[in-house]
Amino acid sequence: MTVRRIVTNIAADDVDGVAAFYAALFGLRKVMDHGWIVTLAGAEGAPVQLSIASEGGSGTPVPDVSIEVEDVDALHARATDMGAEIAYPLTDEPWGVRRFYLRDPAGRLVNVLAHLA
């Protein structure tokens, strides 16, 4: 058996508003909209991964979702410009990633990261 994808589901009262937040911040496009559920996707395929954790690293809570981006500094600037709540500052971690946490409009903790060169 081959896993084709794993989908993160974010519970939200304002489905369109939360979808618009992720679309604007990460450049995702709407690929399905049934009103009660909206699915966003990027242009690239991504590997299937599932992480199980007791903490988020560096003593942080486990995030609800982690999103790897090409330019974490640009994404941090965009999130700040959009007024997103930054819950953990932009940090170079000892395990080789640069990341920050933000809270989405539904209150979910999002780990945004890039691997250090």
The model's pLDDT over 8-65, given as tens digits with 9 standing for 90+, comes to 999 999 999 999 999 999 999 999 999 999 999 998 887 888 899 999 999 999 999 9
Of 29, 14, 21, 39, nearest to 75 (Cα)?
A: 21
Query: What number of other Cβ atoms are within 10 A of residue 55's Cβ?
Result: 9
What per-residue confidence (pLDDT) applies to 13? 96
Which tens digits make up the pLDDT trace of 93-107? Answer: 999 999 999 999 999
CATH no. for 15-115: 3.10.180.10
Q: Report the helix count and the strand count for the chain, using DSSP H and E.
A: 2, 6
By the 8 A CB rule, do 39 and 22 touch?
no
In degrees, rounded to 5, the angle at the alpha carbon of residue 57 between the alpha carbons of residues 17 and 93 is: 95
